[in-house]
Amino acid sequence: MSAPIPSNTPAPEEPRRADPEGWEPTAVHRPLSVWMILAMGGLMLWGGWYLARYSAGFHPLIYDERSSVPPPSGAASNSVDLLIMGKRLYADTCAKCHQVNGEGVLGQYPPLAGSEWATAANPTQAIAIIFDGLQGPIQVKGITYNNPMVAWRDLLSDTQIAALLTYIRQQKSWSHRASAVTPEQVAAVRAATKHRPPLGPWTAQELPSLE
Amino acid sequence: MKPASTQPCPEWQAPSPADAGDPGCSPASLAAIDASCRKPILLLFGAGVVWLMIGTVLALLASWKLHEPALLTDHAWLTFGRIRPAHTHAVVYGFAFQAAMGVTLWLVSRLGRTPLWHPGIATCGALFWNLGMVIGTAALLGGESTGIEWLEFPRYVSPILFASYALMGIAGMPALGSRPQRRWFVSQWYLLAAVFWFPWLYSTANILLLFEPVRGAAQATVNWWYGSNLLALWFTPVGLGALYYFVPKRIGQPVHSHALAVIGFGSLALWGGWGGMQHLVGGPIPAWLVTVSIAAGLMLMTSVAANAVNLHQTMAGHFHRLRQDLALRFMVFGGMSFALAGLCGMLMALRSISEITHFTHLTIAHAHHGLYAFFSMVMFGSIYSIAPRLTGCPWPSPRLISLHFWTAAVGLLLYLGVLIPGGIAQGLAMNSPDIPFLEVVRGTIPYLRLRTAAGFVLAASHTVFFVHLAWMTASRVRDRDRPLHDATAHAIPISGGSAP
């Protein structure tokens, strides 16, 4: 038997070496057990299989590991339902003043339901109001309101404004049957009124000049 | 001595030169090494334990607030959103990191047979690290948080911490580079890798999240990569390095198998850095990113299994030592927790399980499983082994070490035993469409109360440790003429009051 490996633990049954500090541990060279090799090989196979099975071809646009078909390109922008998008945006953006039922607040915020401004055949003025807001007196359904409206030019995209106006102009419960508004129409008005912001919100008198 | 313990394996009968044991170096050079380590490492340990106490108080408050939300809400700096990151930073960067750094510096100089290079530089680094910790913690409590998990310190703190780390690392470089033996010992592989992995992780995460932030889902990706790998590539290798040194050293046996150690280290180095994205299952990132992390987790099990088997086989036949060797108890508890936490981490990565466990308290339990039950327990054992050699003073009371161990073990078992089933129940309830969310939240309250109870047990164990360290320091200060290398000081804590 080789010399016992010295211990630095002064356990009562074991003699302490003169200098327990000096000895440092090493590692024994011995063959690996077959079971360890098999187990590790199994883990490697599992990992490799998992990677092959669920990597979705390393496609950057596949978010579901079980799928192998990338989403059709460009589908997202074409498939937006303006009415649904508009309903959500209306609740977040417009309903605080104009109310969910579109009736506004008498003397404070003019109604949208039945409003001649909202349902005009040409949506240009409505688009312009959303872009830059409104100030000064305005008559809606025979009642004069005088409360400023804020500008949304930098806060809403063309698609979002198109969705909002389409929703407002086609809202069935308000008996609206005006034409839908396309993002292209909104973009045209955005370009045509791009010099407006420094001049402040529109007034009711200026709006007819936009037709 | 039992015959079994002198004959660990047949091969041992005819050892190759490399196996014949490492004679170590002379007592005189050991004394020089310990003298160089003394100030910086005792500073790291002492400050680390103070941060552990701070982190414990913050943890108790945060835990209590989860079931008593009205507690201490009058002061903004005591609200949950501030003390929770303050807790994680105090324990991760305050305690765990400083303990890791102290153990790393001591082990590399001991195994490299080389004293620290200008230990004053390392002391300086440790002081600046604590300065950064104080500034960062004050900023967190003052409401200045980046909101990025585990990197909540405002970004002006990161350069302080990074520079402090560099200072400490420079002091250890000559020891890391020295190779007195024909072959590097296992612990040296882990420590050499860890000291370069940490700056890589920390600087990458800081640049991509705080200085030149990436946008959108990429931010969450980098954040989880950092959080996961700080554990896998910094705390785990340091913990394993300490285990591979102290377990064989304390039982006086060589490591069971060199080949298993190579596999354990190699697979950690190969697969460790791919982790993190398994926490984003179902998230808005490409499926393959998540899959790569999960596959790497499966392969990483080879590292966990190889190290667990290797450490167990090294201990086999020597478990009776646990009755007497108190520091070894912490080591073995930590080693077993390493195997269990590794297995749990792999299982939690699988999509079918992650769908249940993610966004629940199980994630918190797992972080404590890895960082506390494994890493911190190994660090406690290492501090119990190293500190007497540096102070030249034995631990005053073996009974207190035993008390520390049992309170820590019971507290941890309670913590994990409560929060793991609690997290699974919470996850199953959240996935059930019939249960309203508030009901799910209410259902977690009993688990959270028990978690606070576990926290109090752990707080008691930390207090025992803190008091013991203070007692040791005080007795050293009283007895300052005692020579540093007094043979009795090297006595390893033994239960039953047989220590001097």
What pLDDT, in 10s, does the model give residues B134-157?
999 999 999 999 999 999 999 999
Is the pLDDT at B120 greater than 90, yes or no? yes
Which residue from B478, B345, B347, B363 is spatially nearest to B430, judged by alpha carbons? B363
Chain B contacts of A42, Cβ < 8 Å?
Answer: none
Which residue of B21, B244, B286 is in closest CB contact with A5? B21
A178, A170 Cβ separation under 8 angstroms: yes
Predicted confidence (pLDDT) per residue in B43-88, tens digit: 999 999 999 999 999 999 999 999 998 888 888 999 999 999 999 9
Distance from CA of A20 to the nearest CA of B (A): 9
Hey, where are the domains in chain B?
27-180
Distance from CA of B132 to the nearest CA of A (A): 36
Preferred mutation among B30, B185, B260, B288 to probe A, highest tally of A CBs within 10 A: B288
B250, B321 Cβ separation under 8 angstroms: yes
Predicted confidence (pLDDT) per residue in B86-115, tens digit: 999 999 999 999 999 999 999 999 998 889
Alpha-carbon gap, residue A72 to A63, rounded angstroms: 13
- Supply the mean pLDDT for chain A: 83
Cβ neighbours, 10 Å, residue B128:
17
Check residue A21 and give its pLDDT: 59
Alpha-carbon gap, residue B97 to B104, rounded angstroms: 10
What's the maximum distance between 2 C-alpha atoms anywhere in chain A?
112
Name the 3-class secondary structure at B185. coil
Predicted confidence (pLDDT) per residue in B333-374, tens digit: 999 999 999 999 999 999 999 999 988 999 999 999 999 999
Is the pLDDT at A5 greater than 70, yes or no? no
Q: Which helix (H) or strand (E) holds A135?
A: strand A134-135
Check residue A209 and give its pLDDT: 82
Environment class of A99 (CB within 10 Å of its CB; exposed 0-12, middle 13-18, buried 19+): middle
Contact between chains at B18 and A13 (C-beta distance less than 8 A): no
State which amino acid sits at residue A200.
G
Check residue A197 and give its pLDDT: 87
Contact between chains at A25 and B301 (C-beta distance less than 8 A): no
What's the maximum distance between 2 C-alpha atoms anywhere in chain B?
72
B313, B245 Cβ separation under 8 angstroms: no
Chain B contacts of A25, Cβ < 8 Å?
Answer: 22, 185, 244-245, 248-249, 253-255
CATH class, range B27-180: mainly alpha
A66, B298 Cβ separation under 8 angstroms: no
What the block records as the tokens of B371 is 């960082």
Q: Which helix (H) or strand (E) holds A35?
A: helix A34-54
- Supply the mean pLDDT for chain B: 89
Predicted confidence (pLDDT) per residue in B377-422, tens digit: 999 999 999 998 898 888 999 999 999 999 999 999 999 999 999 9
pLDDT band per the 50, 70, 90 thresholds, residue A67: confident
Preferred mutation among A16, A28, A34, A35 to probe B, highest tally of B CBs within 10 A: A28
Contact between chains at B299 and A44 (C-beta distance less than 8 A): yes
Contact between chains at A23 and B23 (C-beta distance less than 8 A): yes
Distance from CA of B168 to the nearest CA of A (A): 24
Q: Which of A81-85, B27-31, B307-311 has the highest mean pLDDT?
A: B307-311
What the block records as the tokens of A178 is 């005006």
Contact between chains at A4 and B23 (C-beta distance less than 8 A): no
Q: Return the residue matching tokens 């490409």.
A: B286
Going by their DSSP bridges, the two strands A143-145 and A138-140 should be labelled as antiparallel
Alpha-carbon gap, residue B187 to B239, rounded angstroms: 9
Distance from CA of A79 to the nearest CA of B (A): 20
pLDDT band per the 50, 70, 90 thresholds, residue B19: very low
A27 - beta bridge partners? B255
Chain B contacts of A34, Cβ < 8 Å?
Answer: none
Q: Which helix (H) or strand (E) holds B351?
A: helix B351-357
Q: What is the ipTM of this complex?
A: 0.82
DSSP state of B179: -
What the block records as the tokens of A42 is 């199994």
Cα distances (angstroms) measured from residue B439 to each of A11, A110, B80, B320, B363: 56, 43, 22, 49, 20
B132, B187 Cβ separation under 8 angstroms: no
If one compares A14 and B200, the residue with the highest pLDDT of the two is B200
Alpha-carbon gap, residue B298 to B301, rounded angstroms: 5
Chain A contacts of B295, Cβ < 8 Å?
Answer: 47-48, 50-51
Contact between chains at A8 and B250 (C-beta distance less than 8 A): yes
Is the pLDDT at A101 greater than 50, yes or no? yes
**Mean pLDDT calculated for residue range B431-442:** 91
DSSP B408-465: HHHHHHHHHHHHHHHHHHHHHHHH-TTS-HHHHHHHHHHHHHHHHHHHHHHHHHHHHH
In this structure, the dihedral spanned by the alpha carbons of residues B132, B135, B140 and B146, taken in order and rounded to 10 degrees, is: -60
A138 - beta bridge partners? A145
Which residue from B157, B42, B187 is spatially nearest to B101, judged by alpha carbons? B42
pLDDT band per the 50, 70, 90 thresholds, residue B485: low
**Mean pLDDT calculated for residue range B423-444:** 93
Check residue A2 and give its pLDDT: 40
